[in-house]
Amino acid sequence: MFYFLYSLFHYQFPILRILKYITFRSAFSALTAFSIMLIFSPRLIRKLQALKIGENVRQKDCPDHMHKQGTPTMGGILIVLSVIVSTVLWADLSNKYILLCIFVCVWLGILGFMDDYLKLRYGHAGCFKKRTKLIFQIALGLILGLVVYFDKDLSTRLDVPFLKDFAINLGVFYILFVVVVIVGSSNAVNLTDGLDGLAIGSVLFVAIAYSALCYVTGHMKFSAYLFIPFIPKAGELTVLCSGLIGASLGFLWYNSYPASVFMGDVGSLTLGGLIGAVSVFIKKELLLVLVGIVFVVEAVSVILQVLSFRIRKKRIFKMAPLHHHFEKLGWHESKIIVRFWILGAIFALLTLVTLKLR
């Protein structure tokens, strides 16, 4: 919206020219999202409490978390809205990548909201079946995959981290690869959302790293210097990622241990899918494994646990996802959270280092 004002009136009002700078708009996008979270989160929490929209903890699944029973959930609604509002205010709304990311937020936000709503109203037996959620996630992945496949500014090549002149051209199979990225990232964040602040804190580090990656990818000189593909207009995604940074910090204010509100599927599914979409648009898909190491480890722990039990009838971990395994080992919840954050921060830095180690 403000960028539109710049394009119309910057000749009459030279001060508006500052709005052409991505760095300026990104900073205010983060501040806007953070302010929205701080101002409206208490009101949302009170409203959720009044409507008795609280977490339903099952004794057999999480016996150590029964004290969280009734904590307001679906706080992810405000995260999604704050990201969208800050992006609409500060980003160039004629940018196709921005519009696609907003589309991702709306699609997965609705999916997550419906799953949370059905779960709260009818219990775990009444929520979306895993197959149903998977179908909607796959459909979104197919849409994005087709868009990228036919986009002249993007390619079906996969850049391999640490290798300057090596890439893998997937051709039409890139569409299926995008499906894997969207489904995998969306569900990985969802699986990680089991301890107070764990998921949103990890998302914060990913958003910081990807905001830097978006900026250099959309900057002709920086991309040439770093030997990474230059993608015209991809730098505008920095504004969106900055909004995600602000929203994450704002939600963490209330979601940190002990949490006053949980994000629910409406938040975790959306944030995971959004991160995956950004990685596709800036052609940093494989780096998602590195920068999102916490989500990868959590998802892999669940996969290994299921496979081991089905094949060997034995469990590898005391409980999956991995954060519950450490709880069973006697680690305090806050210690697990902070150590996972440290891991996420280190790998976010390593991700940025890969830009030069090519």
AA letter at 239:
V
Measure the CA–CA gap between 55 and 261, rounded to whole angstroms: 9
pLDDT of residue 61: 54
Asked if the bond preceding 232 is cis, omega within 30° of 0, the reply is no
For the chain, give the number of residues.
358
Provide the 8-state DSSP code for 64.
G
Domain ranges in the chain are 2-56+68-285
pLDDT at residue 266, as a whole number: 95
DSSP-assigned letter for residue 61: T
Instruction: Write down the pLDDT at residue 57.
Output: 66
Q: Are 45 and 71 in contact (CB under 8 A)?
A: no
How many other CB atoms are there within 10 angstroms of residue 94's CB atom? 12
234, 220 contact by CB (below 8 A): no
Quickly count: other Cβ atoms within 10 Å of residue 30's Cβ.
25
Taking alpha carbons only, the member of 277, 254, 211 closest to residue 27 is 211
H or E stretch at 100: helix 96-122
In DSSP terms, 159 is beta-bridged to: 167
- pLDDT on residue 120: 82
pLDDT score of 70: 75
> Which structure tokens are listed for 315?
């469990």
- pTM, entire model: 0.93
Q: Which residue type, as a one-letter code, is found at position 147?
A: V
CB 233 within 8 A of CB 96: yes
Kindly report the number of other CB atoms within 10 A of residue 226's CB atom. 16
353 CB neighbour count, 10 Å cutoff: 12
Q: What tokens were used for 259?
A: 């949490």
The C-alpha atoms of residue 222 and residue 44 are separated, in whole angstroms, by 42
pLDDT per residue rounded down to tens, the chain (358 residues): 777 776 776 667 777 788 889 999 999 999 999 999 999 999 999 999 998 887 766 545 555 656 677 789 999 999 999 999 999 999 999 999 999 999 999 999 999 999 998 888 776 555 667 888 999 999 999 999 999 999 988 889 888 887 777 788 999 999 999 999 999 999 999 999 989 999 999 999 999 999 999 999 999 999 988 888 899 999 999 999 999 999 999 999 999 999 999 999 999 999 999 999 999 999 999 999 999 999 999 999 999 999 999 999 899 999 989 999 999 999 999 999 999 999 999 999 999 998 877 6
Neighbours of 249 (CB within 10 A): 18
Categorise residue 229: left if φ over 0, alpha if ψ from -120 to 50, beta otherwise. beta
pLDDT at position 131: 86
